[in-house]
Amino acid sequence: DGGITQSPKYLFRKEGQNVTLSCEQNLNHDAMYWYRQDPGQGLRLIYYSQIVNDFQKGDIAEGYSVSREKKESFPLTVTSAQKNPTAFYLCASVQRGPNTEAFFGQGTRLTVV
Amino acid sequence: QQQVKQSPQSLIVQKGGISIINCAYENTAFDYFPWYQQFPGKGPALLIAIRPDVSEKKEGRFTISFNKSAKQFSLHIMDSQPGDSATYFCAASKGSNDYKLSFGAGTTVTVRA
């Protein structure tokens, strides 16, 4: 089945720790995105990549880092510099074309303990 | 700042009633307006989308109305069913070579049986 796989589903981070969220897609999409979802704030763009080995900051990139070494993979690292990392993280991929349909993974819920 | 403003934040409707969600945007470069549906603990999924060259698009019980001059668009859910209970997000993008979606804050719809 084609789609986007995010792992893990739940993740707990201690203060001062870096954690990496995985996102893999087999849709052969060029563009991939990371969003953060908080109650009442919708989806806010963290980072995006439109092609392998290239990525750009979104609206709330501080405290996060990404890499795009393969077309299928776009991991997100939440660093210790992110002061309020507890949130639901969503990865999406988009097929280039006139209609920007984004396909989302099932999300990773990150909690700081 | 949020490029797409969505209201209301939540609404409750009786089974068989009509749910209406409104969105407004400022950026006239936006030319693609999708709506996403999200169930708790899941990623959003595309529900219906419209381009500004049409004023209305209908798919089953879901209708988008678009007012280009007012820079507003809305989602109507006709004959609302308990299974429609979810969070709905409007979004906008510039299309062409820019595939970033700007999302509204979301509306939680509860359909009472």
Residues within 8 A of B (CB atoms), A 1-30 only: 4, 6
- Across the interface, of B43, B89, B95, the residue whose CB is closest to A105 is B43
User: Does B99 contact A50 at a Cβ distance shorter than 8 Å?
Assistant: yes
Neighboring chain B residues of A111 at a CB cutoff of 8 Å:
none
- Which pair of structure tokens corresponds to residue A53? 């080995």
pLDDT band at A48 (very low <50, low <70, confident <90, very high): very high
- The Cα-based distances of B37 to A15, A55, B12, B46, B96 in angstroms read 33, 27, 16, 6, 24
pLDDT in tens, chain B (113 residues): 678 999 999 999 999 999 999 999 999 999 999 999 999 999 999 999 999 899 999 999 999 999 999 999 999 999 999 999 999 999 999 866 667 889 999 999 999 99
HSE-CB of B22 using CA atoms within 13 angstroms: 7
Pairwise CA distance, residues A108 & B12, whole Å: 28
